[in-house]
Amino acid sequence: MTIKGVNLGNWLVLEKWMSPALFEGTTAEDEYYLPTQLDPAVYEARIREHRAEYITERDFVTIRAMGLNTVRIPVPYFIFGDRPPFIGCIDELDRAFLWAERYGLKILIDLHTAPDSQNGFDNGGISGVCKFFQEPEEIEFVYTVLERLAKRYANRKGLWGIEILNEPVSEEMWKVMDVPSRYKPVDPEKAAGSKGYDPQQLRAFYLEAYDRLRAYLPVEKKIVIHDGFDLTAWKDFMREEKYQGVVLDTHQYLMMAEATGCEQTLESYRAFIKEKYEPAIEEMQKYFPTVCGEWCLFNSLACGRDTKGGQSVLNGEMEAQIASVDDEKKKEIYLALDEAQKAAWNKGAGYFYWSYKLLVDTVSSDAWSGWDSWDLGRCVDFGWFKRENYEESWD
């Protein structure tokens, strides 16, 4: 079955730009520093309230009604509550399985963060730090987290698969993205020595993780590997017969296309999707079922300003508004990009939209104008995202 899914971003793994109010009263830019600036009781109350209200049973009903069949749930390395001061969230994931199974959805568990981060992004848990692959004891810890998740959910009807690790960054990408400048570290001493992975390191990590997971997971449950921002580099990987049920995940955003030179016009976006995304997805589908695990409709054209690769008011100086895009024009742009991107993802095994929900005020603040396209609920309600016709059953 083709995956038609959505990410439950910012539920169990926090991202400040998606819900700035959670960070009020602090200067923290990421989940690592938030508990260092709040009283422990305040921190716990804030986190528990957020988790209880941000995603509920009703949202699973809504997702099913959107015509979708799968949810990708980002989880932190401290999901089991064994890395203080962070608060575990395994109970929330348990409830998600009950909801998914009740409403005919499947779940991809996505290990979204690692100790000392696998990418240095704010969504990796700690900004500007990327030392996970240099720390053997933390790598072993992550293997045990994956094993515990596999053991707990292996035989659940709602489990589609487990993603080993979200968005590990290579040494080359670390430099290209200039991560330390974009995500400035709070503590330069802690960040010292940060760098991306060596390709052989990541391959070895995936191979060991596969063995650890498959010891518990039936072959019909998928094991998902992220492409490390190099989609076509995996043609010679896991070719041996023992590797079954492996899915390749790639993340493709139009803001990344802009950052690599795509002009901010509808014609250029569509050409980029047709000439870059489609052939690469189609090629890699020959080797692995290939899903686009993160994408959205967001683009600078619809925002009316150059967003400099998706920088928000929180992490970059906003360009002045250069054009006023009315609602009719915005809908035209988004519908065209919805059609073009889905056509590309359907060359592979499907997609997961990022993200289901966004808690920012896009009306009262010009700085957030255009950011509502990150919110799938708004996209569906505004008619920018065509509802899927999901009549098939997983049974």
Dump pLDDT digits (tens) for 19-73. 999 999 999 999 999 999 999 999 999 999 999 999 999 999 999 999 999 999 9
**pLDDT value for 316:** 59
Highest CATH level, class, for 3-381: alpha beta
Percent of the chain with pLDDT over 90: 85
Of 5, 384, 15, whose CA–CA distance to 161 is shortest? 5
User: How far apart (Å, rounded) are the C-alpha atoms in residues 3 and 174?
Assistant: 30
- Whether 363 shows a pLDDT value over 70: the answer reads yes
- Whether 164 shows a pLDDT value over 90: the answer reads yes
- Whether 390 shows a pLDDT value over 90: the answer reads no
- Ranges of each domain in the chain: 3-381
**pLDDT value for 308:** 76
- The DSSP symbol for 162 reads E
Query: Which of 212-226, 253-267, 359-373 is the most confident on average?
Result: 212-226
User: How far apart (Å, rounded) are the C-alpha atoms in residues 15 and 7?
Assistant: 13
Across 285-381, the runs of DSSP E, i.e. the strands, are 290-294, 350-353
Q: Mean of the per-residue pLDDT values for the chain?
A: 94
Per mean pLDDT, which range of 103-107, 108-112, 362-366, 390-394 is the poorest? Answer: 390-394
- Determine the longest span between alpha carbons in the chain, in angstroms: 56
Q: Within a 10 A sphere around the Cβ of 340, how many other Cβ atoms?
A: 18
Band of residue 120 on the pLDDT scale cut at 50, 70, 90: very high
- Whether 306 shows a pLDDT value over 90: the answer reads no
**pLDDT value for 323:** 64
Mean pLDDT of 365-393: 87
Percent of the chain with pLDDT over 70: 95
Mean pLDDT of 278-298: 98
Q: CA geometry: angle at 121 spanning 357 and 199, to 5°?
A: 120
**pLDDT value for 90:** 98
- Whether 392 shows a pLDDT value over 80: the answer reads no
Band of residue 295 on the pLDDT scale cut at 50, 70, 90: very high
User: CA neighbours within 13 Å on the CB side: how many for 256?
Assistant: 14
**pLDDT value for 173:** 87
User: How far apart (Å, rounded) are the C-alpha atoms in residues 223 and 288?
Assistant: 11
- The DSSP symbol for 265 reads S
Per-residue model confidence as pLDDT tens digits over 87-111? 999 999 999 999 999 999 999 999 9
Across the chain, the runs of DSSP E, i.e. the strands, are 3-7, 70-75, 106-111, 159-163, 222-226, 246-251, 290-294, 350-353
**pLDDT value for 321:** 57
**pLDDT value for 313:** 66
Band of residue 364 on the pLDDT scale cut at 50, 70, 90: confident
Q: pTM (2 decimals)? A: 0.96
Tell me phi and psi for residue 56, to 5 degrees. -135, 180
**pLDDT value for 361:** 87
**pLDDT value for 369:** 81
**pLDDT value for 318:** 53
User: How far apart (Å, rounded) are the C-alpha atoms in residues 122 and 183?
Assistant: 7
- Which amino acid would we find at residue 75? V
Band of residue 177 on the pLDDT scale cut at 50, 70, 90: confident
Per-residue model confidence as pLDDT tens digits over 241-269? 999 999 999 999 999 999 889 999 999 99
Mean pLDDT of 205-232: 97
> Which helix (H) or strand (E) element contains residue 341?
helix 327-345
Mean pLDDT of 73-92: 98
